[in-house]
Amino acid sequence: MTAVGEEMHALVERLYPLCRSITGDGVRATLEIVGEYVPLRVHEVPTGTQVLDWTVPQEWNIRDAYIADTAGHRVVDFAESSLHVLGYSVPVSATMPLAELREHLHTLPDHPTWVPYRTSYYKPEWGFCLAQDTLDALPDGEYEVRIDSTLEDGHLTYAEHVIPGQVPDEVIVSCHVCHPSLANDNLAGIAVATFLARALAQETPYYTYRFIYAPGTIGAITWLARNAERIEQVKHGLVLACAGDSGRLTYKQSRRGDAEIDRVLRHVLTASERPHHVTEFTPYGYDERQYCSPGFNLGVGSLSRTPYAGYPEYHTSADNTDFVSPEAMADTLAVCREAFAVLDRNRRYLNLSPYGEPQLGRRGLYDALGGRSDTKQAQMAMLWVLNLSDGEHSLLDVAERSGLPFESVAGAADALHEAGLIKT
């Protein structure tokens, strides 16, 4: 996992300089890089397309932007950081006094060395983001202002990666690809999702796994609108965001609160003894709120470390590649793999010899346990599985009720199934 963590961090570093937004070439460039790690099917949805109650907006692209003093020195330069421009800024080319320019400048007075992240997606505006210290150092006078951008009919871009399973029922894993240079709130989630997909591709999963790389809000809404007819295939889901900071893991439950993915994450986090926090659903945050909207009400939760807007560096230039660590991303990835291993293996069984306890020794089941360090635990797991295999209790039910590790319960189920004592 150490090596994988370093690889994920290297991916974050590659993606970090790109200027992403809810549309545009920055999203395409991001998906092109991700496509080097996992094959992607890229979708282009035209401007003006009706998607549920929304409309796909015009596409925004930017080539250059700066504020220059009378000597031609760029005091704010988009080339240094994609955060320096208000997202979706309309083009501007003008000269104006600092007093007038201030109306279009965004800073963080409480953190004078940080640059904020700001956008104006659905209202035609222009602006720059800069450190308060930079602004304070600007003398009065005239400044050249230029934003070389386009806002015109184009497309919204999103991508999918699908890992076929033994059944067509799906687990969706969703991450947003719309933020510029923000390492934790955006890129860490992309990296964890990508390496999770690579890991699952080496296995033969029970469920079909669909990874969705889409712009926040409008991207998830577009995906839902385009997949409404087959949405019943989605049985479980997880939104990944803020996946690389040093905070404890946080799982936000689905709107249902008792969806299987909720129970699985609660079980895995508790059993692992990792520091963690489980929160109730709220209709605010990332795209879990779209998947959990009442018309769909999917069993989709959200996994992060420090949650949405929960750390000072959130949506600022301080959320950089030093803010995320290989170790934290590797830990987030490990929890995802553990959770999906439980989800994939969780079944309901029926005891084929329910009248009294079947003779396990005659079937060689006790002999198979001989010499194991966990013999007693394995025996108890068999007895619990037999007792609760009534077609109503899942293996997760057995693990929770018995207090035994899910792996022991699943292993007991495998042995009993092979012996012909239980069936699915």
The per-residue pLDDT for 365 is 85
Nearest to 117 by CA among 89, 76, 85, 149: 85
- Residues ≥6 apart with Cβ < 8 Å to 28: 42, 157
Q: How confident is the model at residue 421 (pLDDT cuts 50, 70, 90)?
A: very high
| pLDDT digit string, tens, across residues 214-228 | 999 999 999 999 999
Q: Is the pLDDT of residue 372 over 70?
A: no
Distance from chain centroid for Cα 11:
15
All domains in the chain, ordered by first residue? 2-57+155-345 (3.40.630.10), 59-152 (3.50.30.90), 348-423 (1.10.10.10)
Contact 62, 128 (CB under 8 A): no
Predicted model pTM: 0.96
CB atoms within 10 A of CB 14: 16
Higher local confidence (pLDDT), 2 or 257: 257
| pLDDT digit string, tens, across residues 382-406 | 999 999 999 999 999 999 999 999 9
Using only C-alpha atoms, the chain has a radius of gyration, in whole angstroms, of 25
- Residues ≥6 apart with Cβ < 8 Å to 348: 389, 391, 392, 393, 394, 395, 424
Q: How confident is the model at residue 368 (pLDDT cuts 50, 70, 90)?
A: low
Q: Is the pLDDT of residue 366 over 90?
A: no
**Token pair recorded at residue 321:** 């590649």
Q: What number is the average pLDDT over the span 190-218?
A: 97
Q: Which residues are annotated as a binding site?
A: 179, 185, 315
| pLDDT digit string, tens, across residues 259-308 | 999 999 999 999 999 999 999 999 999 999 999 999 999 999 999 999 99
**Token pair recorded at residue 377:** 């635990």
- Residues ≥6 apart with Cβ < 8 Å to 371: none
Q: Which residues are annotated as a binding site for Zn(2+)?
A: 179, 185, 315
Nearest to 87 by CA among 54, 48, 129: 129
The per-residue pLDDT for 371 is 54
Contact 44, 33 (CB under 8 A): no
In 51-108, which ranges are continuous DSSP H helix? 98-101
The per-residue pLDDT for 210 is 98
Dihedral of CA 91/105/133/16: which sign? negative
E strand intervals along 153-274: 155-163, 170-176, 208-214, 234-240, 249-252
Cα three-residue angle 302-307-312, rounded to 5 degrees: 160
Burial class of 53 by CB neighbour count within 10 A (0 to 12, 13 to 18, 19+): exposed
Q: Is the pLDDT of residue 361 over 90?
A: no
Q: What number is the average pLDDT over the span 38-63?
A: 98
Q: What is the mean pLDDT of the chain?
A: 96
Q: Is the pLDDT of residue 148 over 90?
A: yes
The per-residue pLDDT for 185 is 95
The per-residue pLDDT for 3 is 96
The per-residue pLDDT for 323 is 98
The per-residue pLDDT for 198 is 98
The per-residue pLDDT for 260 is 98
The per-residue pLDDT for 380 is 92
Q: Is the pLDDT of residue 375 over 90?
A: no
The per-residue pLDDT for 367 is 64
Q: How confident is the model at residue 46 (pLDDT cuts 50, 70, 90)?
A: very high
Element (H, E) at 130: none
Q: What number is the average pLDDT over the span 371-384?
A: 82
Q: Is the pLDDT of residue 113 over 80?
A: yes
| pLDDT digit string, tens, across residues 82-101 | 999 999 999 999 999 999 99
Burial class of 262 by CB neighbour count within 10 A (0 to 12, 13 to 18, 19+): buried
Q: Is the pLDDT of residue 370 over 70?
A: no
| pLDDT digit string, tens, across residues 117-143 | 999 999 999 999 999 999 999 999 999
> β-strands 128-129, 74-77: how paired?
unpaired
Nearest to 26 by CA among 180, 199, 204: 180
